[in-house]
Amino acid sequence: MIRQSCARTEPAYALGTTMNHRPSHVSLPTFTPTKERPLGVLFVCLGNICRSPLARNIFEHSARTRGVLELLRVDSCGTGGWHIGDPADPRAEAVARRRGLPFRHVARQVRVPEDFREFDLIVGMDHSNVQTLRRLGAPEDRLRLMRWFSEPDRAPTPEVPDPYTGDDRDFDHVYDLLDRACAGMLDALNLRSESASGSERHA
């Protein structure tokens, strides 16, 4: 079982909203992404060495498999700056290898306000991440919790737990949660590759 405590924790902020905030009113981007104007997706966790790097690499791999990666600009970051420039946690890299996932990562901290202008979807792993992003000025209509995409009918939306203080089984569990959520996100976005669209027009 994953232990929820972590070596670093988000500070608490009194924002007038609860940690169980479920952004059910948030709309997905309505424009049609292209190679020239890709859809920006930013995955966010606390330190950017466990959950959000896995989410980014799983999402990119799934999008590549579906033939729509060219329509996306994907990145990850942390709300904290403790690991800037570091590689991912070795256990995150290990679970990626076990699953055959191509994996690359250098940790960074969220850039304010640049990331809030440049990314169309800003996806936090847990309620605390979303609270911090909101405090930093992230647009409300761009914020999502990761597992909303796999379990949209659950209220409050469940979190992707931090495996930092756990073991390999915890990282495997997190990988499975992220894999399902990434598939749900791609289904929700319903992207069509430009090459496929062009083929249909000329059929």
Active-site residue, from 51, 91, 134, 142: 51
Give pairs for 186-193: CB < 8 Å, separation 24+: 186/59, 186/62, 186/63, 186/66, 186/68, 187/149, 188/28, 188/149, 189/28, 189/29, 189/39, 191/33, 191/39, 191/63, 191/66, 191/68, 191/71, 191/72, 192/68, 193/66, 193/67, 193/68, 193/70, 193/71
- Using alpha carbons, select from 11, 2, 44, 1 the residue that is nearest to residue 162: 2
Q: Is 77 a catalytic residue?
A: no
- Active-site residue identified among 162, 170, 179, 182: 162
- Beta strand 72-78 with 121-124 is unpaired
Residue whose tokens read 């409300």: 140
Catalytic-residue membership of 179: no
Active site residue 3: no
CA dist 130 and 28 (Å) reads 17
Q: Which amino acid is at 31?
A: F
Residues recognised as catalytic: 45, 51, 162
